[in-house]
Amino acid sequence: MISTRQATTQDIPEITDIYNEAILHTTATFDTGTKDIQERTTWFNDRDENFPVIVAEYHGKTAGYAALNKWSPKKAYDITAEISVYVQSNYRGKGIGKLLVQSIVAIGEQTKLKTIIARITEGNDHSIYLHERTGFKMVGTLKQVGLKFGKYLDVTIMQKNF
């Protein structure tokens, strides 16, 4: 059974572990150094009602999380968020990512946001598919904007407006 719920500060250790796994083993994030609990706590606490964090539980265990993050610190961008979705590797392929994307977008629709942006690294066709199914549209590709694991990577930009 899969469910989602609003994240709490008690979820920060699992969120940190999931994110660090993505840093070390995937190109889903362009962070290259792991984060500690204090850094993730600051990230978690630096939010308001427009920028929630949710977790997915699979049979009672934290399996992934999604967040709407500020797109830019400039005030005019307060109507825009960037979506982040991470699923722990041993829980992938079970529908958790799909539920997280659907759930965080549904929450975003209830906020003051107008737009959600997704930045998806080349090779992550499954993420593009998940976002398309939730109403995101491709708006462009940034060529060779990241370097991770010795490879220059493109990033597809997807957007959903409310």
Distance (Å, rounded) from C-alpha 57 to C-alpha 137?
A: 28
Distance (Å, rounded) from C-alpha 133 to C-alpha 136?
A: 7
Residues 5-20 have a mean pLDDT of: 98
Predicted confidence band of residue 69 (pLDDT cuts 50, 70, 90): very high
**54 neighbors 15 (Cβ within 8 angstroms):** no
Residue 156 lies in a domain: no
Task: Give the per-residue pLDDT at 100.
Answer: 98
Residue 34 lies in a domain: yes
Stronger pLDDT, 123 or 76, i.e. the higher one: 76
- Which residue segment(s) compose the domain that 78 sits in? 2-118
Residue 143 lies in a domain: no
Predicted confidence band of residue 80 (pLDDT cuts 50, 70, 90): very high
CATH of the domain at 7: 3.40.630.30
Distance (Å, rounded) from C-alpha 42 to C-alpha 156?
A: 28
Q: Give the number of domains in the chain.
A: 1
Question: Model-level pTM?
Answer: 0.95
Q: In this predicted model, what pLDDT tens digit does every residue of 110-158 receive, in sequence order?
A: 999 999 999 999 989 999 999 999 999 999 999 999 999 999 999 999 9
